[in-house]
Structure 1
Amino acid sequence: MPIFTAPDGTRLAHHLRGDGEPLVVLPGGPMRASAYLGDLGGLAAHRRLVLLDLRDTGDSAVPADPATYRCDRQVDDVEALRAHLGLERIDVLGHSAGGSLAAPYAARHPGRVARLALITTALRPLGLRATAEDRLAAARLRREEPWFDTAYPALEAWLAGEGEYDPACTPFFYGRWNETVRAHADADDEQTNDEAADRYFTESAYDPDATRTALSELTAPVLVLAGGLDGGPRPDLARRAAAAFGPAEFAVQPGAGHYPWVDDPQWFVRRVAALFADAAPPSAR
């Protein structure tokens, strides 16, 4: 398990899967260990995945300053990883909350990003976030599912702040629900650092106008991929995120929820691999 040191001295881990040109992968959660990403549905057959464990998740160390859990503070960790890999530029994939780390990294270090894939992310650094009605509207698309009548009231109550999260809501985050998917979902609690997650999306971490200006000038190819059944973000919100970039592609994976590589690995890998096949690979220093 490779280790590198962040600028503040925190020792951070990353996991390598597959062969080929490296692809830096930033996990969501927020603050969920990268193990939940697996091999991204088989994407590791096309690229060497560099799966970062964010500070105090997975195999990465606890930082001295808890304020560094903020996503904008972790941009320096991504840059330190790039330097550790010895690459002039890196391809980056951010999933969910990981997109809210990938986008500020691209805004702050545009010359270091070769290609960028943002997977089911609303991009809070742009001032975009899924609303309760977004999530409920997406949930109503599932009304024919056998679990809907139990899950929907639980989702309504949770979104209204009337109680703790009910696991009955979890099927809404996936495009299909079976034992394999359930095992992926059940790992969430042990993989997520809840204390760090509460600090990750601090509102003072963002400057949406400045971030939009920087991203509009990014010349790297960008893919924004949404799940057709995802409520956070719904496809229309993800499309608004894509509009913040100069050269950006937007795609909707049919029948997918928040974890599209779990729902339809072949569709996901084919679409994401195409982005990274369209341009020259990153160059080593």
Structure 2
Amino acid sequence: MILVTGATGTIGREVLRRLPSDQPVRIMARQPERVTGAPPAARIVHGDFTDPTSLTDALHNVHTAFLVTNPDGEDDTRFLDPARAAGVRHIVKLSAAAVTDPDADDLITRRQRHNEDLLRASGMGWTLLRPRAFMSNTLSWARSIRSDHVVRALYGTSANACVDPGDVAEAAVLALTGRVRDHAGVAYTLTGPQPLSAVEQTAQLAELLGLPLRFEDLSPQRARAALEARYPADIASALLESARRQHSGSKADVSPTLPRLLGRPARTFRDWAADHLDAFRPDPSPANG
């Protein structure tokens, strides 16, 4: 039995779409009604990292788990003890590529490293997935593209080897369903095929949409204000520090891991954007029907 956590998130949704239909799967979610795209035979159960009883129930007869947690909390600690007690043999954990950067010392990355250490010390088999930024992060631009034909971002010319979430999910499914000995004790850094800046992504979106999009560089002050409207101040500071590291070139390296794992090239941003144009396309005006 495979247990999938984070099933309503960016990667979890894609993992569910790719799991073999004949694979016994249990899906743990705080809000089971929000789970979509699950395999027909999958069982969806209520579960919460802060509820030990729900964890025990969700982990019953599970041999492999896909673990997605919020790095600024204690969910890894809450999950690993009951998983080990339940007899889970292998955990595939979603982490982040920043943990490998010796210059990355922001709060989020420190906590991600700590959570990786907890898993490695758990006594269970493990696989770590360390993706770069998701291409889907550009969906945060959709509203301003639809309303003003403008993209606003910090450090617009800094490059990131961003990755298609679907490729990350495909790697996760390989680790969850393949031979354990092929993936146990391995950390995979997952990137897209090329580093791209927000300015370059904006240009590609403009071409695909047939719209004259404009890029507007945010100042650090405006970026902080926008982040603090969504996150606690310490998390906003960590995200700004991450952006500064990207500006220094630390996120531009391309890893060959995904092509080796998947047996095909990693998908490009243009590939991803072409599949999601409706999210960015302005609604037709009433005058145009």
TM-score under structure 1 length normalisation = 0.35
Look at both structures and tell me which one has the larger radius of gyration over its CA atoms. Answer: 2
TM-score (norm 2): 0.35
